[in-house]
Chain A
Amino acid sequence: MSTAGEQDADLSLQEEHESKTHRTKRRDGDRQKKKRRNERRKGGTRAGEGEEDLQAVSEKRERSKRKRAKSKQETSRRENNEEEEAQLTGGKGTKARKDIRNEKTRRMEKEEVREVDENVDKGKKKQGSTKKGEKKEDGGKQLVKEKARDIKKKKHKKAETRYSEPETSEEDDDEEEDNDKDVVRPECLSPEELEKLKEAVDERKKLIQSLRGKPWPMKKKLVTLRESQEFVEKYEGALGKGKGRKLYAYKVLMTKALMGRPYGSMPRKTVPRAEEASAMDFAVLWDFGVSGYYFICLLLYPQGYAQYSVLFYGYYNNQRTVGWLKFRMPLSYFLVGVGTVAYSYMVVIRTMARNANESGVGDDNSFNFSWKMFTSWDYLIGNAETADNKFASITTSFKEAILEEQESHKDDNIHLTRFLRVLANFLVLCCLAGSGYLIYFVVRRSQKFALDGLENHTWWERNEVNMVMSLLGMFCPMLFDVISTLENYHPRVALQWQLGRIFALFLGNLYTFIIALMDEINLKRKEEKVVKFNITMWEASLYNGTVLENSTAPPVTIHPADVPRGPCWETMVGQEFVRLIISDTMTTYITLLIGDFLRAVLVRFLNYCWCWDLEAGFPSYSEFDVSGNVLGLIFNQGMIWMGSFYAPCLPALNVIRLHVSMYLQCWAVMCCNVPQERVFKASGSNNFYMAMLLVILFLSTLPAIYTIVSIPPSFDCGPFSGKNRMFDVIHETLESDFPPWFSKVFSYASNPGLVLPFILLMVLAIYYLQSTSKSYREANVELKKKLQMQNEENKRKNKRAALKAQMDLEEARKTAQEQQRNNNASVQDQEGESFDFKY
Chain B
Amino acid sequence: MILHRCVIDCTFFTRKEILRLHGRYHELAPHLVPMDYTNEPDCKIPLALIVNMPELKENPFRNRIVESFSEDGMGNLSFNEFVDMFSVLSEMAPRELKAIYAFKIYDFNVDNYLCKEDLEKTLNKLTKEELTPEEVELVCEKTIEEADLDGDHKLSFADFENMISRAPDFLSTFHIRI
Name the one of A84, A219, A394 contacting B126, with C-beta atoms under 8 angstroms.
A394
Of the candidates A88, A367, A800, the one whose C-beta lies within 8 Å of that of B166 is: A367
Q: Give chain B residues whose Cβ lies under 8 Å from the Cβ of A90.
A: 40-42
B143 with A370: CB separation less than 8 A: yes
1/0 per residue, CB under 8 A from A, across B125-153: the answer is: 01110110001001100110011111110
Q: Which of B6, B84, B164, B174 has the most CB of A within 10 A?
A: B6
- B117 on the interface (CB 8 Å rule)? no
Task: Find out whether the CB atom of A84 lies under 8 angstroms from the CB atom of B40.
Answer: yes
How many inter-chain contacts with C-beta < 8 Å in the A-B complex?
193
**Residue A704 CB within 8 A of the other chain:** no
- Tell me whether A373 and B81 are in contact (CB under 8 A): no
A256 to B80, CA, bound (A): 23
Q: B14: shortest Cβ distance to chain A, in Å?
A: 7
Which residue of the partner chain, among A369, A378, A801, contacts B142 with CB atoms under 8 Å?
A: A369
Given contacts A211-B9, A369-B146, A382-B54, contact A88 B135 (CB under 8 A): no
Residue in A closest to B71 when the chains form the complex, CB atoms = A217
Provide the residues of chain B in CB contact with A683, threshold 8 Å.
168
A659 interface contact, C-beta 8 A? no
Which of B6, B143, B150 makes the CB contact (< 8 A) with A225? B6
Confirm or deny: B48 has a beta carbon within 8 angstroms of a beta carbon on chain A: no
Once the chains are docked, how many angstroms separate the CA of A188 from the CA of B6?
A: 33
Contacts of A384 in B (CB 8 A): 58
CB-contact partner of B89 in A161, A219, A374, A379, under 8 A: A379
- Contact of A377 (CB < 8 Å), options: B94, B138, B152, B173: B173
Is A376 in the interface zone, CB < 8 Å from B? yes
- Cβ of A798: which chain B residues have Cβ within 8 Å of it? 149-151
Complex partner residue of B151 from A218, A373, A380, A799, CB under 8 angstroms: A799
Interface membership of A357, Cβ < 8 A: no
Chain B neighbourhood of A800, CB < 8 A? 151
Find out whether the CB atom of A85 lies under 8 angstroms from the CB atom of B12: no
CB distance from A836 to the nearest CB of B (A): 52
Closest CB in chain A relative to B163 CB, distance in Å = 5
- The digit string for A250-264, where 1 denotes a CB below 8 A from any CB of B, is 000000100000101
Listed residue (A84, A86, A161, A367) with the most chain B CB atoms within 10 angstroms of its CB: A367
- CB-based nearest B residue for A797: B151
- Residue B16 interfacial (CB < 8 Å): yes
Residues A479-515 near B (CB distance < 8 A) = none
Interface string of A660-686 (1 = CB under 8 A from B): 000000000000000000000001000
Q: Contact: B9 with A377, CB < 8 Å?
A: no
Q: How many residues of A contact B (CB 8 A)?
A: 74
Q: Which of B55, B94, B138, B174 is within 8 Å of A375, CB to CB? A: B174
Instruction: Give the distance in Å from the alpha carbon of A89 to the alpha carbon of B135 in the complex.
Output: 50
Q: In the complex, A800→B152 CA distance in Å? A: 10
Choose from A160, A265, A370, A803 the contact partner of B147 (Cβ within 8 Å).
Answer: A370
Complex Cα–Cα for A795 and B155 (A):
13
Q: How far is the CA of A229 from the CA of B9 in the complex (A)?
A: 11
Q: Is A555 an interface residue (CB 8 A)?
A: no
Decide: A367 and B173 in contact? CB cutoff 8 A.
no
Do the beta carbons of B146 and A802 come within 8 Å of each other?
A: no
Whether A517 sits at the interface, judged by CB under 8 Å, is no
Say which residue of B2, B4, B16, B131 sits within 8 Å of A398 (CB atoms): B131
- Known contacts being A212-B10, A213-B97, A222-B80, is A371 close to B42, with CB within 8 Å? no
B127 and A373 form a contact (CB under 8 A): no
- Size of interface on B: residues with Cβ below 8 Å to A: 80
| Residue B5 at the chain A interface, CB threshold 8 Å | yes
Residue of B nearest to A158 (CB): B5
- From A262, A362, A375, A377, B91 is in contact (CB under 8 Å) with A262
Which residues of B lie under 8 Å from residue A399 when comparing CB positions?
131, 135
Contact with B along A84-113 (1 / 0, CB 8 A): 111111111000000000000000000000
Q: Check A87 against B119 for contact (C-beta < 8 Å).
A: no
What string of 1s and 0s marks CB contacts (under 8 Å) between B1-37 and chain A? 0111111011110101100100000000000000001
Q: Do B61 and A377 have beta carbons less than 8 Å apart?
A: yes
Residues in B with CB closer than 8 Å to A412 are none
Residues of B within 8 A of A375 (CB): 164, 167, 169-170, 173-174
Residues of A near B55 (CB, < 8 A) are 382
What residue of chain A has the Cβ atom nearest to residue B5's Cβ?
A160
Closest beta carbon of chain B to A506's beta carbon, Å: 32
Q: Are A367 and B127 in contact (CB under 8 A)?
A: no
- Does B100 sit at the interface, judged by CB under 8 A? yes
A266 to B92, CA, bound (A): 14
Contact B142 A371 (CB under 8 A): no
Nearest residue, chain B, Cβ from A384: B58
Q: Is A374 within 8 A of B135, CB to CB?
A: no
Shortest C-beta distance, A245 to chain B (Å), equals 11
With the chains together, A24 CA to B97 CA distance in Å? 36
Chain A, range 251-293, C-beta contacts under 8 Å to B: 256, 262, 264-267
A456 interface contact, C-beta 8 A: no
Min CB distance A805 to B, Å, is 10
Residue numbers in A under 8 Å from B128 (CB-CB)? 391, 395
Residues on B with beta carbons closer than 8 Å to the beta carbon of A366: 146
Assuming the contacts A379-B176, A399-B131, asked whether A215 and B97 have C-beta atoms less than 8 A apart, the reply is yes
Min Cβ gap B150→A in Å is: 5
Residue contact B3 to A160, C-beta cutoff 8 Å: yes
Complex CA gap A90/B34 in Å reads 14
A379-B173, A380-B177, A398-B131 given. 10 additional CB < 8 A pairs? A87-B78, A87-B79, A219-B71, A262-B92, A366-B146, A368-B142, A373-B139, A375-B173, A378-B172, A803-B151
Per CB-CB distance, the 10 closest pairs between chain A and chain B, nearest first, are A799-B151, A387-B58, A218-B80, A221-B10, A215-B100, A369-B142, A395-B127, A375-B169, A87-B40, A798-B151
- 23 A-B residue contacts at CB 8 Å? A85-B4, A87-B79, A89-B42, A91-B40, A212-B10, A212-B11, A212-B87, A213-B93, A215-B97, A218-B78, A225-B10, A264-B177, A265-B17, A366-B146, A370-B146, A370-B163, A377-B59, A383-B58, A395-B127, A402-B135, A791-B149, A801-B151, A802-B150
Binding site for B on A (CB under 8 A): 83-92, 160-162, 208, 211-215, 217-219, 221-222, 225-226, 229, 256, 262, 264-267, 361-362, 364, 366-371, 373-384, 386-387, 391, 394-395, 398-399, 401-402, 405, 683, 791, 794-795, 798-803
